[in-house]
Homo-oligomer: A and B are copies of this chain.
Amino acid sequence: MSSQIAVIEIATPGRGFQEISAELQNVVTGSGMVTGLCHVFLRHTSASLLITENADPDVRRDLENFISKLAPDGDPSHVHTMEGPDDMPAHIRSVLTCCELTIPIREGRLALGTWQGAYLWEHRRRPHHRRLEVTVIGD
């Protein structure tokens, strides 16, 4: 077994989803690994990494709508509001989802299901620059 590392940089236009499956597959392909694991880690606390349905964009719209109601911007109970009304909600969304993913590699491909896509979910309203650390381990 050996490992390969890479950095992926994503410019987000503000709140919403950006698929990163192709970027991750590029790292796996470049590593030459056939079987193993691909780990991706987001170095930020106001965005998330997740796997969800990659077909109907309404799924992401409904996810955004759900979480916006669960952790609404401008909630008057929040004390941490330094960076605006979407600051603390972004941290809550990040904790309820996750900032890292591990995806198996089989035959040189990410073994995602037919309807699975890996996404970066930006929770801040303004554009951000997000950095992902990728670690591929395998043979």
Residue pair B88, A62 in contact (C-beta under 8 Å): yes
A135 to B35 alpha-carbon distance, docked (Å): 9
Say whether, besides A37-B137, A44-B115, A63 and B95 are in contact (CB < 8 Å): yes
Q: How many residues does chain A have at the interface if contact means C-beta atoms less than 8 Å apart?
A: 59
Among the listed B43, B66, B77, which residue makes an inter-chain contact with A112, where contact means beta carbons less than 8 Å apart? B43
A94 to B95 alpha-carbon distance, docked (Å): 11
- Is A10 an interface residue when CB atoms closer than 8 A count as contact? no
- Is A51 an interface residue when CB atoms closer than 8 A count as contact? yes
Interface of A is mostly: mixed
Say whether, besides A39-B104, A92-B63, A100-B102, A58 and B45 are in contact (CB < 8 Å): no
Q: Report A22-58 CB contacts with B as 1/0, cut-off 8 Å.
A: 0000000000000111010111110000111100101
Q: Which residues does chain B contribute within 8 Å of A92, judged by CB atoms? A: 62-63, 66
A120 to B65 alpha-carbon distance, docked (Å): 26
- Is A138 an interface residue when CB atoms closer than 8 A count as contact? yes
- Is A91 an interface residue when CB atoms closer than 8 A count as contact? yes
Write the chain B residue with the least CB distance to A82.
B56
CB distance from A82 to the nearest CB of B (A): 7
Residue pair A59, B88 in contact (C-beta under 8 Å): yes
